[in-house]
Structure 1
Amino acid sequence: MSDVWHITHTEMVLRLLCATTLGGLIGLEREWNNHAAGFRTHILVCIGSTMIMLLSIYGFAEFVNEGSVRMDPARLAAQVISGIGFLGAGAILRNGSSVSGLTTAASIWVVAAIGLCVGAGFYFVSAVSTLFVLVSLFVLNKLEKHWMHRRRAQEIVIKVNFHTGSIGRIVSAFEEHRISLNKFYMKPDEKSNEAAGVKQVMDLHFSFKNPNSEKLLLAIETISTMVDVISLHTHHQLNAKRMKEQIA
């Protein structure tokens, strides 16, 4: 029987330790930034995929010499790649128009691939891939925030006592300060409507593409003084102290 189908216990332990280390390094970054899947989750995924790869290559070595048996080390590995998606899906959250958790879901999928590489003995590929992933999560994340900060849409949610003319006055306030509206939609605030009785409370969602921060603050100051406005919330930090003073 060929030695390619055999592995020592020492080598198995080495591969599992390698998977724990590499998966932990990526998970540590996710844990540090308070994401849903963190340190332990990434370690478990990496160890699990390494175990399955070891099983796929070496677990059926006793059947190699059987005439009707064909070994396929990639069979179980393919199931890991497709099956790990349920963990990634659990990390993705949608809140209105914003989606979070995509990077964490991708990191889980990559960690599974790294675990498969470790299980197959591809140490160099595993180490280099882990390095690239860490660079992507640490370095490129900061560069992306720096480059894309001014290109991202500014979202504002305004809770109002809805009646004829209330939306028009708010839109006019933005137009007076030369702020172009990108998207707008509104929906009833069910909790407030139950408590308010007759009055109908609506949540107005405004989205602006690359607005001038000073002009937007001036518009917010004007809107916050309107009688119909109950509260105002912005998804991006413009000037926290000034916002609190105006909305309080």
Structure 2
Amino acid sequence: MDTHLSIYEIMLRLFLAILMGGAIGAERELHNRPAGLRTHILVCMGATIIALIQVEIGYNALQTALSEPRLAGVVRSDEARLIAQVVSGVGFLGAGTIIVTNRSIKGLTTAASIWAGAGLGLAIGMGFYAIAFSSFVGIMAALIVVKRVIKVHAIKKIEIRYIHREETKEFIMNYFDSKKIEVEDVDFDVDFMEDYRIYTNVYTIDLPKGLSYTDVIEDLSMYKNITKLRMINV
């Protein structure tokens, strides 16, 4: 079997990397994520280029072994070596898209899409078209279709900063009880000022059907002792 790549085959694989990587990046850019169209194209193309190099290395090693039988035991080509470096190296790029602020984390999906895009590029570069097309469909389905079809009732956290501890805590708990809001967990914090104290509670809550987190924020914001409200995505 001739494993040598023609210029047309190389151009086809790079074109597929641009097309598929661009489609994934366009979806991320549409949602205003830190890594968009160009980033995903470059990641997918870069992985494809490395896979193409690996294919050529394997071909050259095979040709050398066939033309020089005495070197057959010396010339080696590990087709997984460069691929392994891509899989581990692209993690650093994905980590750069993850933003951690206080108690919230953003960018995990984009980091995962970069990692998946690198795997897609490797499949294209190695010429595994069935894997590449199937993976592309799966990645796009995960980014676009799954969120629309499967609705997950997420448990979120709400940060409440307030003064006058006893009075305000009683108001908050009475509000939760009246709205049938289930409190899963509570984290407490207190800041000591010169003549007063500011309390911060982070409630992990599960809302009943028909009640939104926006409604909760608006209702609680009307209370005079509460100085700050913030939703935290888990």
Q: Same fold (TM over 0.5)?
A: yes
Alignment counterpart, residue 152 of structure 1, candidates 151, 154, 172: 154
Give the match for residue 209 of structure 1: 206
The letter of the residue matching 1:185 is: D
Matched residues, number: 225
- Deviation at residue 166 of structure 1 after TM alignment: 3.6
Which secondary structure does the structure 1 equivalent of 2:15 belong to?
helix
C-alpha contact 1:36 1:91 (8 A) present in aligned 2? yes
- Deviation at residue 157 of structure 1 after TM alignment: 2.1
Alignment counterpart, residue 54 of structure 1, candidates 52, 55, 64: 52
**Larger CA deviation: 100-109 vs 54-63:** 54-63
**Larger CA deviation: 154-163 vs 123-132:** 154-163
TM-score normalised by structure 2 residue count:
0.81
Alignment counterpart, residue 199 of structure 1, candidates 172, 188, 196: 196
Distance 1:15 1:166, change over 3 A: same
C-alpha contact 2:190 2:198 (8 A) present in aligned 1? yes
Alignment counterpart, residue 177 of structure 2, candidates 175, 200, 210: 175
**Larger CA deviation: 7-16 vs 29-38:** 7-16
**Whole-angstrom distance in 1 between the partners of 2:215 and 2:117:** 47
Give the match for residue 33 of structure 2: 35
Offset from partner CA, 1:182-241 (integer Å, 9 cap, x none): 22113357xxx7xx75433233222211335559888767644444222333458xxxxx
Give the match for residue 239 of structure 1: none
**Whole-angstrom distance in 1 between the partners of 2:7 and 2:215:** 69
**Whole-angstrom distance in 1 between the partners of 2:135 and 2:92:** 23
Same amino acid, percent of matched pairs: 34
- Deviation at residue 97 of structure 1 after TM alignment: 4.6
C-alpha contact 1:177 1:216 (8 A) present in aligned 2? no
Give the match for residue 22 of structure 1: 20
1:71 maps onto 2:77 in alignment: yes
Give the match for residue 245 of structure 1: none
Distance 1:77 1:165, change over 3 A: same
1:90 maps onto 2:96 in alignment: yes
C-alpha contact 2:159 2:230 (8 A) present in aligned 1? yes
Kindly report the root-mean-square deviation, in angstroms, between the aligned alpha carbons of the 2 structures. Answer: 2.9
C-alpha contact 1:46 1:111 (8 A) present in aligned 2? yes
1:114 maps onto 2:116 in alignment: no
**Whole-angstrom distance in 1 between the partners of 2:89 and 2:212:** 49
Structure 1 portions without partners, runs of 5+: 237-248
Give the match for residue 68 of structure 2: none
Which secondary structure does the structure 1 equivalent of 2:100 belong to?
strand
